[in-house]
């Protein structure tokens, strides 16, 4: 089974799951999933996790994300982006580069953010966007998100359109950020375009178009990145053949005397056998074991 991560350049249009469905048909792929949803209208870096890498999705979600957001002032959208119904709101002529730059620092650090009503977040076991499309009243709850940095790239006063670069942690909605910025400036705003330029070590400049992958036949694997990429900063334990066999049976192995936390457990050939956590008895308990 071939396992690893594909850095896919998602185009605007298909959903993230539609990209997964397409790439599941690549020769030799058994399982596939994505490592961080992009809305259909958004484009850019979309990690696709192949086979064993699907078990590392939680760690991909921990990677910081960088976006370039195009924000249009003077209107609001019921979905927060250009896919929704637009309503005129406020005077975009009152917006300037200086006012935007003055407002942005309030959105850095750990902030409370209300997710969009049209989002995949679940309430009562059902995605909010399904409820919203049926016309049901949807009231998403505010939650803490973290924005590491935010800066204005450029502003066109004639169109009242700004381009803003945002680096954030997991769970931050750029649509909500655009709406909140519009509220702060008293003009209304919506997200008119979005590109994810980086996710962890994955960069847009290195991302592969879907068409390139689907047209490559058996050769698609040349773009496959190592499965353990999300764990590269973790300490590693090199196992001999007996130790690797024990871990594959779910048995614990000794941990270094001075270190706790999470570990990569590598086989004699350097392959990822499992990841595990050290317990109080200084034994590393396997949490996920990968076929060898």
Pull the structure tokens for residue 134: 């049926």
In a 3-state reduction of DSSP, which class is residue 71?
strand
For residues 81 and 191, the answer to whether their CB atoms sit within 8 Å is yes
Distance, CA of 205 to CA of 19 (rounded, Å): 19
CA dist 268 to 225, 240, 282, Å?
Answer: 20, 5, 22
156: annotated active-site residue: no
User: In whole angstroms, what is the distance from residue 95 CA to residue 185 CA?
Assistant: 7
Which residues pair with residue 290 across a beta bridge? Answer: none
Q: Which of 161, 165, 137 is nearest to 151 (CA)?
A: 165
CA-angle at 42, arms to 217 and 145, nearest 5°: 120
Task: Say which of 39, 81, 180, 228 is annotated catalytic.
Answer: 39
Q: Residue 78 and residue 80: Cα distance in Å, rounded?
A: 6
- List active site positions: 39
């Amino acid at each position: 089974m071939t396992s690893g991560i594909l850095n896919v350049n998602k185009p605007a249009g298909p959903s993230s799951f539609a990209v997964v469905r397409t790439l599941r048909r690549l020769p030799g792929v058994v399982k596939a999933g994505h490592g961080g949803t992009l809305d259909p209208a958004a484009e850019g870096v979309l990690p696709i996790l192949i086979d064993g890498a699907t078990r590392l999705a939680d760690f991909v979600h921990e990677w910081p994300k960088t976006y370039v957001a195009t924000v249009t002032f003077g209107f609001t959208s019921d979905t927060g982006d250009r896919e929704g119904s637009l309503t005129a709101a406020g005077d975009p002529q009152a917006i300037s580069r200086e006012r935007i730059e003055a407002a942005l620092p309030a959105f850095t650090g750990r902030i409370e953010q209300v997710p969009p009503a049209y989002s995949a977040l679940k309430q009562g076991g059902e995605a909010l966007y399904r409820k919203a499309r049926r016309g049901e009243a949807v009231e998403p709850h505010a939650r803490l998100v973290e924005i590491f940095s935010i800066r204005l790239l450029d502003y066109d006063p004639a169109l009242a359109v700004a381009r803003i670069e945002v680096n954030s942690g997991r769970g931050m909605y750029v649509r909500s950020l655009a709406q909140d910025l519009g509220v702060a400036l008293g003009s209304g705003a919506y997200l008119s375009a979005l590109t994810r330029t980086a996710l962890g070590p994955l960069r847009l400049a290195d991302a592969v178009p879907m068409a390139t992958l689907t047209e490559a036949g058996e050769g698609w694997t040349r773009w496959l990145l190592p499965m353990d990429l999300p764990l590269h900063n973790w300490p590693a334990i090199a196992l001999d053949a007996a130790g690797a066999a024990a871990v594959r049976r779910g048995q614990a192995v000794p941990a270094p005397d001075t270190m706790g936390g999470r570990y990569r457990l590598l086989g004699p050939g350097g392959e990822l056998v499992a990841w595990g956590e050290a317990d109080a008895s200084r034994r590393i308990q396997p949490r996920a074991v990968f076929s060898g």
